[in-house]
A and B are shown apart, each in its own frame.
Chain A
């Protein structure tokens, strides 16, 4: 790695991260499409480094209610990973997977039932797991994750958790935005990978990028 800070990633390193997220998003989309029994299209994920202030703006403002699913990473890589989606999108997904459980249109302001929360947790688990297996098969590293933790709250509050972790090494965070869905239902998912700086280095090293 060229520098000790995230801002100093080279184009080459960025491309590697992009490729990893592309593969991860592909895996995740396949998993979701199977789970929801839908034909799901996906777009090329957008990857960017954002200032903390901008992070919440991308996800609809600091007070926008979102669903955040967080997993702690262990073994070869230490860190956290987080999947964030808007509450409305989460409502569409649960009503798709659990038809008739509630039936209402997604309004963005109802509470989730235990069952629905569990579905969302599992969804986060699958998505995060897909990204993880992409990284681990590319790099030949063993990465295990904790059970998923879920929280429904203001975007600013949810994002403060990864922001604080990033805050130790940088003023910016790495955001991977992926969009998936079919014609009737589009879900914007935001994926935030929060490895420690050492972990980034390990990923690059294992791919032969000894910069």
Chain B
């Protein structure tokens, strides 16, 4: 077993070979993994918000779906692969509190997931599988060697997508 590389909130990192990459406690945020199944390289970004263009404070690209996924593609490509070889998996985007208001700011999980799908599609990266929505937090781990994404949640069995 290799090292476990941690990705924080609004953060990104890459990993290869026998190592694994993880992000803990995803709520409404989304963990997006982009990987090359042949070269066994991958990267993960923990995005918090769907769109950088409508937010004033947008210095950190990893915070947003649009800029975060773009940066992630560039970083993974630098590891010796090409964009056309890349695939994606993602999880998160839960609605942590059971609001019954139509307040838009509370549906950010849904909007995050939608934005990630759109950005991936725009970049012609196939979203192989996802585990998004619902009302619980998730911890995810990705193993580039097997291309498996482990999704862990409190009181729920381990899910591999």
Contacts and interface: CB of A to CB of B under 8 A. Distances in A.
A151 B139 contact: no
Interface stretch (B70-78, B80-88, B94-102, B123-131): B94-102
Interface residues of B, number: 35
Contacts of B29: 160, 163-164
A160 B138 contact: no
A162 to B, nearest CB: 10
Contacts of A159: 25, 27
A5 B24 contact: no
A48 to B, nearest CB: 17
Interface string B27-68: 111000000000000000000110000011101100100000
Contact of B10 (A5, A154, A167, A169): A167
B142 interface: no
B9 interface: yes
Interface string A46-59: 00000011011000
Nearest to B105: A165
B154 A153 contact: yes
Main secondary structure of the interface of B (DSSP, over half): loop
Main secondary structure of the interface of A (DSSP, over half): mixed
B96 A161 contact: yes
Contacts of B154: 65, 152-154
A203 interface: no
Contact of B96 (A52, A72, A158, A165): A158
Interface of B: 8-11, 24-29, 48-49, 55-57, 59-60, 63, 94, 96-99, 101, 103, 105-106, 108, 135-139, 154-155
16 contacts: A4-B56, A52-B48, A53-B9, A56-B9, A63-B139, A111-B155, A153-B136, A157-B27, A159-B27, A160-B9, A160-B25, A161-B27, A164-B49, A167-B10, A169-B57, A171-B59
Q: Which are the 9 A-B pairs with shortest beta-carbon distances?
A: A156-B25, A157-B137, A160-B27, A157-B27, A62-B25, A62-B24, A149-B97, A154-B25, A154-B137
Given A4-B56, A151-B96, 20 more contacts: A52-B48, A56-B25, A61-B24, A63-B25, A63-B139, A70-B97, A111-B155, A151-B97, A152-B154, A154-B24, A156-B24, A156-B25, A156-B27, A157-B96, A160-B27, A160-B96, A163-B9, A163-B29, A167-B63, A168-B57
